[in-house]
Structure 1
C-alpha cells in the first residue's frame, strides 16, 4: 500500500512539474542571440541600441579611436546627442547631432536670429552588418525654433575636424 502511494505521489509530482510554466528567470531571458554581445561564444546577451554599436566601432582611416570616444571628446559642441531609427528595408540609421549656441561676439549670426549652429552626421548600418557615414549636414536653429539643414558635400573634412578636435567652420 505504501509503495503504491509513493508511486502515485511521484507520478503526481512528475506531471505537475512537466506541465508547469517556466521559471521567471527563463521567461525574462532574451529570445535572440545578439551579434553584438560580450564576445563570448554562444553568449546570450540583451540586444544593444544601434547607437551603442556605432559608438563602439571604428571608421576606416581612424582605427586608433572609437567613433563614440572621438565624438564625445570633440570640445566645440556644447550639446551632443545620438538618435536611431530602423528603416523599412532592414537598415538602421544612427544620427549624431552636435551643436553649440551662437557665440557672444558672433554679431552677424545674432543679427540674423541664429540661436544655435551644429552638425548632423548620419550613419547607416546595413543588414549585412556593414556601416558607413552617408550624410553630413550643417544645421542652424533660429530664435523662433525653426531648424534648417544644409548638406555638407565633404564628409571627410567634418570627420577629420572631429577626430582632430579642430573647430568646424559652421
Structure 2
C-alpha cells in the first residue's frame, strides 16, 4: 500500500472525525497511552497556529493520519533543545488504522513530512515517542532521527528524537 495512492484530506479537517479515528486506533492498541490525546480545543488552537493534519482514506475507509506542529520557545525548553524554534517542526501524533498496520505507512508518512516541512523552510524535525514503542522508534531511526534525551510528561515518558533536515 502506497501513501500516494490514498485519498488525502489536509484542510478543513473534521476534528470530530479525527478524534473518532484516533480513539478507534487507541482502543485497538495494546498500549493506548503511546498515542497522544489532544482535546478538540487543543486541536483547534494548534490548527489556528500553523499545525497541519493529514488524514488518508482508501475509498471511504480511514487508513492513517499525521500531523506537523510548529515549535515555540517553550518547546525548546521542554525538550531541552538549543535551536532557533522558528526552524523546528514537531512531528505530532501519527497513527494507522489497525486494519492497515504492516503496510509501512508510518515510514511513508515520515518521508512525506520530511519533504513537506523542508519545502516550508524548516531545518530541524523533532519527534517524541514512548520508550517502549520500538516499532515507531525504529521508523524514526530509519528516517535519520537521533535520540537526544528522555522527558516525562503528563502523558508519560517520551524519548526525544531530532533530525536535521537537509535539502538535496
TM bin, normalised by shorter chain, reads 0.3 to 0.5
Which of 1 and 2 has greater Rg?
A: 1
Give me the TM-score of the superposition, normalised by structure 2.
0.37
**Larger proportion of helix:** 2
Q: Which has the higher contact order (CA 8 A, sep 6+)?
A: 2
